[in-house]
Amino acid sequence: MDTILIVDDSPTIRRMVKASLATLPATFTEAGSGLEAIETLAVGRINAIVLDLNMPDMHGLDVLRFIRSHDKYTDVPVVVLTTRGDADSRGKALDAGATAYMTKPFSPPALAAVVKDLLANAGTRSAR
């Protein structure tokens, strides 16, 4: 069974994301900060990440760059889910290695479809 890490400083958003993905055959773990996300990655097997950009301790782009700088996490799909809908933020996230980019407010079925597709194709996708 896949494990999905949900990273957002808002407990409400984490619950909403988890509820949106509840139909997927996966378990969920949560992190309320960028540093907590990195700690979670270090101690467990994570198959996909839903990551916010705006967090107080460590910006989501820094978390994403950390993830992509380690071979162990190269193939882990990362969906950036953020309030930032501007082209510059989107471009920076994709350049840093985001697999997908979505904005808040989000459609729960759309998020579930993106994550389901990324998990299904994780082994066949080439690393960024």
125 pLDDT more than 50: no
Backbone phi and psi for residue 125, each to the nearest 5 degrees, phi listed first: -80, 145
**Entry pTM:** 0.93
Locate the domains of the chain by residue range. 2-121
Do residues 42 and 85 make contact, with C-beta atoms less than 8 angstroms apart? no
Ordered alpha helix ranges (H), the chain: 11-20, 34-43, 60-68, 87-96, 108-121
Q: What is the pLDDT of residue 128?
A: 31
CATH class of 2-121: alpha beta
pLDDT, tens digit, 9 for 90 and up, residues 55-71: 989 999 999 999 999 99
Do residues 61 and 96 make contact, with C-beta atoms less than 8 angstroms apart? yes
Number of other residues whose CB lies within 10 A of the CB of residue 31: 23
Nearest CA to 36 out of 66, 71, 79, 12 is that of 66
Instruction: Write the CA distances from 19 to 11, 59, 127, integer angstroms.
Output: 12, 24, 28
pLDDT, tens digit, 9 for 90 and up, residues 72-112: 998 999 999 999 999 999 999 999 999 999 999 999 999 99
